[in-house]
Each structure stands twice: as structure tokens, then as C-alpha cells.
Structure 1
Amino acid sequence: MIQSFETQLQVSLRALGEIVAPALAGADKHVIEQLHLVMAALGFMSARLSSAATFQRAELEGYIALAEEAAANFRQHRGSDCEPLVEAVSAARSALVSSTAEADCYQRSTRRLRELVAALIGQSTSEAEAADLQALVLARSGEMLSDARLWCLPLGFELDPDALPQRDWLKIE
């Protein structure tokens, strides 16, 4: 059995492209389409596997910054801390400094922060508070969207990849 994930992905892609695809020559279009979707997904994973944890750390750092600003907004409007958000930020920061944290830990922390910030908007006690939170989310979303578009470059949907900002967390190959 091959031990390296990268090698396993490459071998699987090669087998699908060189053996399975030709064997399906007379198959229905939807079968071929599904095979190509699987190959594209495996190709994307292969291209991004070595950078996954680094990307997810960078994404988490962005959500920590957003959550801290949202917590400050909450404090400003309500005069107290939003304890669940403060605790989630603390846990996320701990994950970032942990030498044993893995990519799924970063993803869980990111998801939790995203959920809590979204909940704050829904629980706003005034229009001003909701408007401030929405403006904050919109201001932060531009960079997050650019990062997501950079991450997905191997999928080939970006019309002008050179127009995207470069990030030090991503090696473009």
C-alpha cells in the first residue's frame, strides 16, 4: 500500500484517466461526466493537499480578526462581553499556537466563529448594532472571498487569475 497521500492521489488519477475512462467509452454521458467530476476533485485535492493546513490557518486568522471586531462592536453597543464569542476566539487562538492542531481543528474553529458572528447579527438589539455588524462582515468579506478564489484556482473557473492578490500562505504552481 502506498503511504503518501500525494502519491495515492496521483496513482488514482492516472488509473481513472488511463484505464477507467477508456473502458467507459460507450457509457452514458452522465457516467462520463461523473468520472470527470471525480477526477477534477481528486486533481484539486492533489494540487492543494500540501497547502491545506496553511490555508485553513490563514482562513482561521481572518475569522479571528472578524470575531474580535464583532466582539468589540457587541461591547460598544451593549456594554458587556459576548461570552460565547470571547470563548470561541480564545479556543481558536489556542488552536493556532498548538503544535498538534490539525486542519479539521482549524475548520471547526472557523465554522464556530462564523456561526457566532452570524448569530450576533440576528440577535442585534438595535438597527445601529445590526448595521455596524453587517458593515464589518462586508468589509472583511472582500479579502476572504479573494482568498477562497485563490484557493480554488486549480479548478480553472477564474477568468483572470493574475488579477487576484498573491498571498504568502499559498504557493501557486
Structure 2
Amino acid sequence: MESFRGRFTNKIDAKGRVSVPAKFRAIVIAQGLNGIICSPSFKGAYLEAGGPAYGAMLDQMINRLGMFSDAHDNLAAALYGESQDLSFDGDGRIVLPEEMRAHANITDEAMFVGFGARFLIWEPKAYEAFRANALGDAKSLGDLLQPVDGVAVPPRPVGGGI
């Protein structure tokens, strides 16, 4: 599965339409959906989105929980009950519903940020504040990244560069 990567800021018109980055559209269309699955995040003032592969990952995670447990019900309500399928128009735009825009404090611009299996939609200044904190915290988290299935990690360049 191809990962969502990069940051893109696009204008929102008076009807709430915004162009989804072509790179992101291509990924979800390749997964068989002419649109995105989108929901307000229960973690903060932004939106979470992706294609069918993202939806399948959510299904797997939620289905691991006991069907009648509070954890299952609470996460299902947040992730399924609040989500919407937003179709692409002929120009690659979606209409962001007013309640989603309000949740994320999005008015005239939306920033699409790749997060691997999903992407997030932010009010640009809010993302920049999150990004500054995340990059600072990432410095102490690098040791958590480990090779998968014996894949070798290339040695770091002399001088500590990336």
C-alpha cells in the first residue's frame, strides 16, 4: 500500500469545496474509491481521512475489541458514527461539511498532511503549532524506530546528518 506523504495547503471556496491533493487522490482511487473516508479526530481539532485501506485498518483494530465492550462502543461511535464518505467531483474536490470544518477550525484554507496509512486535514496555523512540538518530541523518540523483519538499516552518515 502506498503511503500518504507530504503537506499541501489548498483554498476552500464559499461552498466548502476544497481540492484534495492529486497525489492523495491517486492513492484512494487506486484503492477503488472515488472519494475519501473522513471523520473529525477524537484526539484534536483536525480531521482524519484516507481510502478503503485506512477503513480496513480501522475495522481490524475495532473488531479486536469485545463487541459489547465500552471501548468498542466508544471507538466505533467516534470513528464510524462521525465519519462520512466524501466523493470527488470532476475537478478532484470534495465538499467538507460545515460541522467538520467547525471541528477543525477550518475557514478559508485546509492543510492536507500525509501520515502514512491516513492523512490529516488541518487549519494551517494549527498544524504548524502541532508540527513544531512534534519535531521537537521526535528527537527523543528515534530509538523507537526499529528494522522490520531483518531489513537492515543503512549506517548513519559521518557527522550525524540525516
TM-score w.r.t. the length of structure 1 is 0.24
Which structure is higher in helix share?
A: 1
Which structure is higher in strand share?
A: 2
Higher RCO (CA < 8 A, seq sep 6+): 2
Query: In terms of Rg, which structure is larger?
Result: 1
TM-score w.r.t. the length of structure 2 is 0.25
